[in-house]
Structure 1
């Protein structure tokens, strides 16, 4: 069974590399087949390895995040469906926020919160998101409100990942946090390419950081629940 599970992971990596190749070549026709299979294979991998936490909110939230990411990938293949793709990824980030919050030791424990320290820890994330928004906002027009909502949610996703520090095992924290950062970087590059200054390398950079982000997040959540089980 374990060997069968790892095959899904190998499939994810192989299809990811193929999609990067097609992206670099500008072959949009073949990407219609490769892009939807990237997250589908990762979904199947996590579905199989997470049966030990079957029925939990953590598993449901992560599978939902992967499902909405898969849906977003498909929708973003068609430029006229961009807003729907944005909505699908918005739902994916909300699911990730739930998953990141639950995958902590004593997630609902209420303790003292130093808001100044919390703000300073998250400040680089806020500045990065604000800078990208500053660059793209003149060209957003009717997309301004949806993009603002999306930026706020993805910032919340990354800060929730950061707040897992010392609330899970180190490898889980770093995998999830770095994965969240890569997700934010991927979306930032996509936004700059669409609404600020298009550049030919954007497609490969967007997909490369996105693939790494999804893999790190899944492996980080896996590390957490296996450590809890142990």
Structure 2
């Protein structure tokens, strides 16, 4: 890595540390400020260290950054109970979810372009069944019984779960036994799933703040592993 690339990597590490610490201490200002720059720093890491910059990867990080900002707006209005505030919070939450949906879709397209898996068909079927089971289990355990959500919102959450599982599934097809770096995006995708799983637990148990630091830590590790894997693979 050259000096600018290393600087952006250190910046991302510092911002991530501040963000997780602020989440654990419920410090809104350092949390919101650090979160606003995290994906921008990771865009810098990717742009300055990748041998060939992909517009799809930059788009994924851009929509992740946009999703972060929209969800920050939703969190900021969490304690407000006026009709306008509730509407704005719902709007920010939905649009933030759409932004992350697009982020995952960009990653899917990236992985499809890099397809070179040596996994034989019987194992592919087994992997598909495993991901389907995870999706069904997540729907029955969390989405189906979520109180306070209408059917349209539940459908949107189910669609998001589908696309994040598809993103993780598609990352398998760039793995090769002779290149350990090819497993970094897959590992990152699993951290992404874990992050959303912890987020769902926090919502269901009405203890969002308790799980928030772990949600952010898993999310930041996920993005970092995916991007570092793509950099090392020359994507």
Distance (Å, rounded) in 1 between the aligned partners of 2:120 and 2:226:
26
1:198 aligns with 2:195: no
SS at match of 2:183: helix
> Aligned-residue CA RMSD in angstroms?
2.2
Distance (Å, rounded) in 2 between the aligned partners of 1:150 and 1:64:
18
Number of matched pairs: 214
Partner residue of 1:13?
Answer: 13
Distance (Å, rounded) in 1 between the aligned partners of 2:131 and 2:27:
34
SS at match of 2:205: coil
Structure 2, gaps ≥5 residues long? 75-88
Q: Aligned-pair distance for 1:112? A: 11
Deviations 1:62-92, CA, capped at 9 Å, x for gaps: 1000000011111111221111100000000
Distance (Å, rounded) in 1 between the aligned partners of 2:199 and 2:125:
27
Cα gap change, 1:112 to 1:127, in 2 (>3 Å): closer
Q: Aligned-pair distance for 1:12? A: 0.2
1:162 aligns with 2:175: no
Partner residue of 1:131?
Answer: 137
Q: Aligned-pair distance for 1:154? A: 0.7
Aligned residue runs from structure 1 range 174-213, under 5 A: 174-194=183-203, 196-199=204-207, 200-213=209-222
1:53 aligns with 2:59: no
Q: Tell which deviates more after alignment, 123-132 or 37-46.
A: 123-132
Structure 1, gaps ≥5 residues long? none
Partner residue of 2:73?
Answer: 78
Q: Tell which deviates more after alignment, 216-225 or 128-137.
A: 128-137
State the structure with bigger RCO (CA 8 A, min sep 6), 1 or 2.
Answer: 2
TM-score, scaled to structure 2: 0.83
Contact 1:103 1:225 in 2 (8 A): no
Q: Aligned-pair distance for 1:122? A: 3.4
Contact 1:39 1:66 in 2 (8 A): yes
TM-score, scaled to structure 1: 0.85
Distance (Å, rounded) in 1 between the aligned partners of 2:205 and 2:139:
13
